[in-house]
Structure 1
Amino acid sequence: MKLPRVAICGRPNVGKSTLFNRLTRSRAALVHDLPGMTRDRSFGQVACLGEDGEPEEILELVDTGGLDFEGDDVITQGITRLALEALQEAHVVLLMVDAHDGWNPVDAEIAERLRPLGKPVLLVVNKIDGVKGGSPDGAFYELGFDSVHIISANHGDGVPDLLEAVRALLPFHRTPEEAEIHDPSEELRFAFIGRPNVGKSSLTNRLLGYERSLVSEVAGTTRDTVDTVFHQGERVYRLIDTAGIRRKGKTTEGAEKLSILKAKQAMARADVSLMVLDAVEGVTHQDAVVAGYAEEAGAAVVLVVNKWDLVPKDTWTALSFEEKLRHDLGFLRHAPLIFVSALTGQRVSKLFAMIGQVAEAHARRVPTGRLNQFLRESVAAMSPHATEGKTPKLYFMTQVGVRPPTFVIKANTDRGLHFSYIRYLENRLRVQFGFQGTPIRISVQKKQRGEDQPTDKAPVRRILDVGEGLRPGRRTRQAGEGRSRGRARR
C-alpha cells in the first residue's frame, strides 16, 4: 500500500543525509564534509513510535541531492532534475538550511521555487549546535514559512518535535499493518558492480524502466550505493547500484574511499553480484580485482558484458570474446555469462532468470548422505596428494553453511589438502550438484577421537525425570552422608 512521502531538500552540505540517517535509524546515506556527496535519491522508511515505544505509523522519506540552479555541468543539472522530481512526488517537503552559515541567497531561491508546488513546507534550521548562543540568524524567518524548526541532526536535538510536525501535515496515515512491510529475508538481493563508466547505472535504469540513478559520460558519477526494492512476479528484489571501483593508486580522496567501502559492503550483503564489463575496452586488470572482491565476499557472480551493440561482430565474435574473458578471469569459470546492451535493452530482461538460477545454487543444501557418497567416489577416482610425506585419509563430509555453500571434510590431518585437490573437489561438486555461479568453501579438519559421522537427523534432547541430573548442594550431600552412616550403625 502506498505510503505518505516526505522529501528533504536544500543546497549542498546542509545536513540532509545526516537527518535522513537519523530519522530512518540507518546509515543508508553517505555522509561526508565534501559538498555534493549525495547525487541520487535515497529512499527509506520512518517508524513513528507511540507512547508504548511500538511503531504506530510508517512514512517514506526521500533524501535528495543538493540543489544548485546555477550549475552548468551535466552532473549538477542531473542532480537538480532528480531532486525536483522527488519534490513533485512528495506530500510534505522539508527545506533544510545551515544555521552555522546563516542566511544564503540560494536558500531564498529554493524557497521561491517551492511555493508554486503547493506542498506543505517546513523550514528546518540545522547545525544549531555550532552556533554561539543557540539562536539562528533571524533572516531565516524572512523566507516566509510559518513552521520553523531548529534542530541538530547530528545530535538529535529537536528531531522528535520535527517528526510530530511532519505527521500533522500528512494527507493520510499508514499503520505498520497497512504498510505491508515485507520481511527482509524474503528479498533476493543483487548488486551491479564493476569499475567506473561500464554502464552499471544505465543497466539499473533499463531494468527498472525509469531513471533511478543519475547517468553521465563522466566516470565516477555514482558515489553512493543506490538501493531499490521492487516486485517482479511473486518475488521481491532489492537492486543495489554501486559506485565504480578504481585502482587503489588513483583513489586519493576520502570521499571516494568511502564510496568504494560502501560498494564492497554491497557485495557482502548481496546474494548475487552482477559483474559489469565493457565490451569495447575488454577485460582489464581492474575488472579482475573487482571480481576478486565479489568472490571474497561470498556472493554468487554473473558476468554481464555491456555495450555489446558497439562491438563489430562476425560469426566468431562472441566465442572469441568469451574465450579471452574465461582466460583472464580464470577464477570465475563457474560464473554464467551474458552479452547485453543497456542502451538498446538487448537481453537485459534475461538477467532475472540468470539471477534466480545462481541465487538458488547459492542457497542450495546437499544431504550428508549424498555428500559422503560423493566423497567416496571422488577419492576412488583420484586420491589426495601426500602433504609433508603423509597421505591424507578423508573420512566423511558435511555441509555447514549456505550463501555461499560451505563444506567441512574430516580427515586424519589438520594440515589441509593440496590446493589442486580442493579445486578438483569444487569442480566435481559443481558438476554433480549444480553449483553454478556460486563460490564454494571447503575446509579440512582433523577428526577427533570418538567423533562419529554426522547425519541429517537433528539430535533430540532427552527429557530428564524430576531431580535427575541435578547436582546436590552442600547441605544435601551432608544429609545424605548422615543417613548412610545411620543405616550402617543399625
Structure 2
Amino acid sequence: MDMPTVAIVGRPNVGKSTLFNRLVGRKLALVDDRPGVTRDRREGDVAFGGLKFRVIDTAGLEDAAADSLTGRMRLQTEAAILESDVVLFVIDARAGVLPADRAFAELVRRSGCPVILIANKAEGTGGLSGAYDAFSLGLGDPIPFSAEHGEGVGELHTALQEVLPEPDDEDEEDDDPRGKALRVAIVGRPNAGKSTLINRMLGEDRLLVGPEAGITRDSISLDWEWRGKRIKLHDTAGMRRRARIDDKLEKLAVSDGLRAVRFAEVVVVLLDATIPFEKQDLTIIDLVESEGRAVVIGLNKWDLVAEQPGLLKTLREDCTRLLPQVRGVGVVPLSGLAGEGIDKLMQAIMAASDVWSRRVSTSRINDWLNEATSRNPPPAVSGRRIKIRYATQVKSRPPHFALFGNQLDALPKSYTRYLVNSLREAFDLPGTPIRLSLRTTRNPFDKS
C-alpha cells in the first residue's frame, strides 16, 4: 500500500509549521510569529509510534481573490486537501474559534476526507477554554495540543491510528518477490458464512464456525497466497442494525469490523443467496462505498439455490437497480461450505483492485469532458449557463476526479450522476466508488 498522506491546514499563524516540524522530528519548515511564512506545500516523511505517513505543511487558508498570491496559496492548500488521506485541521486555542475558522472548516468538511481537529497553543487554562470552544466547528472532538511543548502528542497518535492504515512489516514486504499483500476484508450480516468461506480459502479450520450467528467477535487477520499473490484476509464480526445491538461486546466487535473495512483495499460483501439483498446487506454495501473501498459481492450458499433457472441473471439485475453507486460491481456465486466459486471470487477481487487503483491521463479526461458536455450540456442557472472548463484525476484508490468551472456548486445532482456514470463507462470503471469534486473558480466564501 502506498504511504498515506496527511495534510496540515488552518488559518495563518495557528502553529501548522511547528506541528509539521514536531512530526517529522526536524526543523524543516520555517517558523515565525508573523502570519503567512509558509507559502508552498512542504512535505516530509513521518515515523510516529509505529505509524508511517507523508505529512504536508500548507499555506494558511485566507479569503482572497483567486488570481492574487494569497488566493493561489489557498488553491495550493485546497489541492493538498484533495490529495490527502487525512486532514489535521488546526486552530489557535488562545484566540478561540474565529469566523474564518468556521468557513474553512466547512471547506475541509466538503472534501469528504477524515478530519482530526487540533486546538493548538492549548497550554494553560486560557488555551483550554478555547479548545472546548472548538466543539462548535462540528469536526468531532478537538485535541488540546501544544506543538511547541509537545503536549497532546499521545492523543494525536491515537486519533491517527484510527484513520491510517496499519503498517505491516513494510521492509519485509518490499524485499518479498511476491510483492505487497493485498488487504481483503470479508464482511456481511451474521451467519452469512464468512468464517466458513475463509476456512475453505485457507484449506484448514483456522476460524471457529457453527450454526449460531455472531460467533466471530474480533476482526481476525490471516496471511494467504493465491496464484503467487500475497493476500491478507480479514474476517469480521457479522454486522446487524445498530438499533438491534444491545450487547457492549457486540458493539465493539462491529466497530472492529468497520476498522477492518477502512484498512482494506478490497471488501467482499458476503450475502446469503437464499435471502439476498436484505436491507442490512444494502446498508453494508453503502457503508463500504462511502469508505471508498473496492467492492465485490459474494452470493454464498449458492449450492442451495443453484437449481433455480435464471436466478443469477435476476440477482445481477437487482444489484444494478438497488446499488447504482457501484454500478457494474462483480457478483460471484459461491459456496464456502462446498468450496465452490473461490477461484472466480479471487479473480473478481483482483479485477476490482485493478479498477480501484486505475489512473487516467488528464488529456483523455478532458477529451471525455468535451464529449460528455457536448452530448448533454450543463443546465443554465439564472440565465447563465454553467460551464465546466477543465477536469483532472487527483487521486486513485478510489478514482477521484476534480472538475473546474463556474457556478459548479449549482450543478443539480442529476447532472453529477450523469457525469459519474459517463466516467464509469468511458474509462471502464465498473463497480468501484467514484469521487467527484467540483471546484468553482469564483471565491467559494463570497456569499454575495
| TM-score range relative to shorter protein | 0.5 to 0.7
Distance of aligned partners of 1:211 and 1:180 in 2 relative to their CA distance in 1, 3 Å threshold? farther
2:238 paired with 1:247 = no
TM-score, normalising length: structure 2: 0.58
- Give the Cα–Cα distance (whole angstroms) in 2 for the partners of residues 278 and 262 of structure 1: 22
**Distance apart, 1:388 and its partner CA:** 5.7
2:176 paired with 1:190 = no
| Matching residue within 303, 318, 326 for 1:332 | 326
Confirm or deny: 8 A CA contact 1:207 1:349 kept in the other structure.
no
Q: In structure 2, what is the equivalent of residue 209 of structure 1? A: 203
- Give the Cα–Cα distance (whole angstroms) in 2 for the partners of residues 187 and 387 of structure 1: 49
2:264 paired with 1:270 = yes
Correspondence list, 1:122-161, <5 A:
none
**Distance apart, 1:249 and its partner CA:** 1.1
Confirm or deny: 8 A CA contact 1:413 1:445 kept in the other structure.
no
- Which structure: larger Rg? 1
- Give the Cα–Cα distance (whole angstroms) in 1 for the partners of residues 378 and 264 of structure 2: 34
- Give the Cα–Cα distance (whole angstroms) in 2 for the partners of residues 225 and 331 of structure 1: 26
- Give the Cα–Cα distance (whole angstroms) in 1 for the partners of residues 303 and 381 of structure 2: 51
TM-score, normalising length: structure 1: 0.53
- Give the Cα–Cα distance (whole angstroms) in 1 for the partners of residues 212 and 383 of structure 2: 57
Distance of aligned partners of 1:443 and 1:304 in 2 relative to their CA distance in 1, 3 Å threshold? same
- Give the Cα–Cα distance (whole angstroms) in 2 for the partners of residues 365 and 372 of structure 1: 14
2:407 paired with 1:413 = yes
Q: In structure 1, what is the equivalent of residue 364 of structure 2? A: 370
Q: Which amino acid aligns with 1:181?
A: E
Question: Number of matched residues?
Answer: 273
- Give the Cα–Cα distance (whole angstroms) in 1 for the partners of residues 334 and 382 of structure 2: 49
Correspondence list, 1:346-357, <5 A:
346-357=340-351
Q: In structure 1, what is the equivalent of residue 375 of structure 2? A: 381
Q: Aligned to 1:415, what secondary structure does the other structure show?
A: helix
| Matching residue within 300, 309, 317 for 1:315 | 309
2:433 paired with 1:439 = yes
Q: In structure 1, what is the equivalent of residue 216 of structure 2? A: 222
- Give the Cα–Cα distance (whole angstroms) in 1 for the partners of residues 332 and 205 of structure 2: 23
**Distance apart, 1:413 and its partner CA:** 2.0
Distance of aligned partners of 1:312 and 1:403 in 2 relative to their CA distance in 1, 3 Å threshold? closer
Q: In structure 1, what is the equivalent of residue 393 of structure 2? A: 399
**Distance apart, 1:306 and its partner CA:** 0.5
Q: In structure 2, what is the equivalent of residue 469 of structure 1? A: none
**Distance apart, 1:447 and its partner CA:** 2.3
Q: Aligned to 1:337, what secondary structure does the other structure show?
A: strand
**Distance apart, 1:220 and its partner CA:** 0.5
Q: Which amino acid aligns with 2:349?
A: I
- Give the Cα–Cα distance (whole angstroms) in 1 for the partners of residues 350 and 306 of structure 2: 31
Q: Quick one: percent identity of the two aligned structures?
A: 36
Q: Which amino acid aligns with 1:402?
A: S
**Distance apart, 1:333 and its partner CA:** 2.6
2:172 paired with 1:181 = yes
Confirm or deny: 8 A CA contact 1:226 1:242 kept in the other structure.
yes
Distance of aligned partners of 1:258 and 1:371 in 2 relative to their CA distance in 1, 3 Å threshold? same
Distance of aligned partners of 1:262 and 1:410 in 2 relative to their CA distance in 1, 3 Å threshold? same
Distance of aligned partners of 1:389 and 1:274 in 2 relative to their CA distance in 1, 3 Å threshold? farther
- Give the Cα–Cα distance (whole angstroms) in 2 for the partners of residues 387 and 355 of structure 1: 43
**Distance apart, 1:214 and its partner CA:** 1.0
Q: Aligned to 2:394, what secondary structure does the other structure show?
A: strand
- Residues 3-27 of structure 1: CA deviation (Å, up to 9, x unaligned): xxxxxxxxxxxxxxxxxxxxxxxxx
Q: In structure 1, what is the equivalent of residue 161 of structure 2? A: none
**Distance apart, 1:291 and its partner CA:** 0.8
Q: In structure 2, what is the equivalent of residue 343 of structure 1? A: 337
- Residues 32-82 of structure 1: CA deviation (Å, up to 9, x unaligned): xxxxxxxxxxxxxxxxxxxxxxxxxxxxxxxxxxxxxxxxxxxxxxxxxxx
User: What's the C-alpha RMSD, in Å, of the aligned pairs?
Assistant: 2.3
- Residues 143-166 of structure 1: CA deviation (Å, up to 9, x unaligned): xxxxxxxxxxxxxxxxxxxxxxxx
- Give the Cα–Cα distance (whole angstroms) in 2 for the partners of residues 389 and 275 of structure 1: 46
Confirm or deny: 8 A CA contact 2:388 2:408 kept in the other structure.
no
- Residues 196-217 of structure 1: CA deviation (Å, up to 9, x unaligned): 1011111111111111211111
Distance of aligned partners of 1:315 and 1:419 in 2 relative to their CA distance in 1, 3 Å threshold? same
- Residues 78-120 of structure 1: CA deviation (Å, up to 9, x unaligned): xxxxxxxxxxxxxxxxxxxxxxxxxxxxxxxxxxxxxxxxxxx
Confirm or deny: 8 A CA contact 1:416 1:443 kept in the other structure.
no
Distance of aligned partners of 1:209 and 1:376 in 2 relative to their CA distance in 1, 3 Å threshold? same
Q: In structure 1, what is the equivalent of residue 16 of structure 2? A: none
**Distance apart, 1:317 and its partner CA:** 2.2
Q: Which amino acid aligns with 1:182?
A: E
Confirm or deny: 8 A CA contact 2:271 2:299 kept in the other structure.
yes
**Distance apart, 1:435 and its partner CA:** 1.0
Q: Which amino acid aligns with 1:205?
A: N
**Distance apart, 1:437 and its partner CA:** 2.0
Q: In structure 1, what is the equivalent of residue 67 of structure 2? A: none
- Residues 343-400 of structure 1: CA deviation (Å, up to 9, x unaligned): 1122111122111111011011111111111100100110112346542100000111
Distance of aligned partners of 1:314 and 1:256 in 2 relative to their CA distance in 1, 3 Å threshold? closer
Q: Which amino acid aligns with 2:397?
A: R
- Give the Cα–Cα distance (whole angstroms) in 1 for the partners of residues 211 and 191 of structure 2: 7
- Residues 453-490 of structure 1: CA deviation (Å, up to 9, x unaligned): xxxxxxxxxxxxxxxxxxxxxxxxxxxxxxxxxxxxxx
**Distance apart, 1:325 and its partner CA:** 3.7
Distance of aligned partners of 1:381 and 1:258 in 2 relative to their CA distance in 1, 3 Å threshold? same
Q: In structure 2, what is the equivalent of residue 142 of structure 1? A: none
Q: In structure 2, what is the equivalent of residue 298 of structure 1? A: 292
- Give the Cα–Cα distance (whole angstroms) in 2 for the partners of residues 443 and 290 of structure 1: 24
Q: In structure 2, what is the equivalent of residue 29 of structure 1? A: none
**Distance apart, 1:232 and its partner CA:** 2.5
Q: Which amino acid aligns with 2:377?
A: S
Q: Which amino acid aligns with 1:286?
A: Q
Confirm or deny: 8 A CA contact 2:193 2:336 kept in the other structure.
yes
Structure 1 stretches of 5 or more lacking a match?
1-176, 450-490
